[in-house]
Amino acid sequence: MTMPGWYDLAKLGRDLDFEESVRTQDEPGILRSREYFNTLIKEQVEQGIKPSRIVLGGFSQGGAMSLFAGVTHPEKLGGVFGLSCYLLLSDRIKNYLPEDWPNKKTPVFMGHGEDDDVVKYDFGTMSAKLLREMGLEDLKFNSYPDLGHSADPAEIEDLEKFLSKAIPPEEGQTSAGL
């Protein structure tokens, strides 16, 4: 069954292994969505927001798309987060990295429930491992026991801490708008 969203999902669930997941990913759809993300970022920059103050993030498919678009973005961003997600096109993501890879040091937060029955927990841990092996320097991966394909207060609190660190208040501000 195909499920449309940011990109088509051919398969999901506990019976799918990571390698099969990568082989069946909708690369054209993923690249279209990445271009849309890049357009949104460009519009914000044109409105006066510095790329270093922009954080991409999401849950599940939106988190997977945010990881891919954020890590491969041609300008340094403030941060990237993905909850209950995985790294898209992990076997060829290096082909999409800009030559100077401006987001190599960008803070990245991943959170995943250990009981996730939609996006397997192993997909999250394997994705974090692959990102580290690629050379991503500032990645935090948090596990949440007894959490399924959902978010909980502990994860949201960890995300809030990450965002406060990734985009701290600018001089003269009392908060980063959180």
Mean pLDDT of all residues belonging to the chain: 89
4 burial (CB, 10 Å; 0-12 / 13-18 / 19+) is exposed
Instruction: Evaluate if pTM is beyond 0.85.
Output: yes
Backbone angles phi, psi at 32, to 5 degrees: -65, -45
Domains of the chain, start order: 18-166 (3.40.50.1820)
Active site annotation includes 149: yes
Which of 66, 84, 112, 116 is labelled catalytic?
Answer: 116
Which residue do the tokens 């909850």 mark? 83
Which of 8, 52, 149, 150 is labelled catalytic?
Answer: 149
Backbone angles phi, psi at 20, to 5 degrees: -65, -40
- CA 10 from centroid of its chain's CA atoms: 20
Active site annotation includes 116: yes
Active site annotation includes 60: yes
Q: Rounded CA gap, 174 and 49, in Å?
A: 18
Which of 60, 66, 84, 127 is labelled catalytic?
Answer: 60
Per-residue pLDDT reduced to its tens digit, 18-38:
555 555 567 888 999 999 999
Q: What's the mean pLDDT in 75-99? A: 95
Q: DSSP of 9-32, one letter per residue?
A: BS--STT--HHHHHHT--HHHHHH
pLDDT at position 1, please? Answer: 45
Q: What's the mean pLDDT in 134-163? A: 97
Helical spans, DSSP H, in the chain? 18-23, 27-46, 61-71, 121-134, 153-166
* 74: nearest Cα among 107, 48, 102, 53: 102
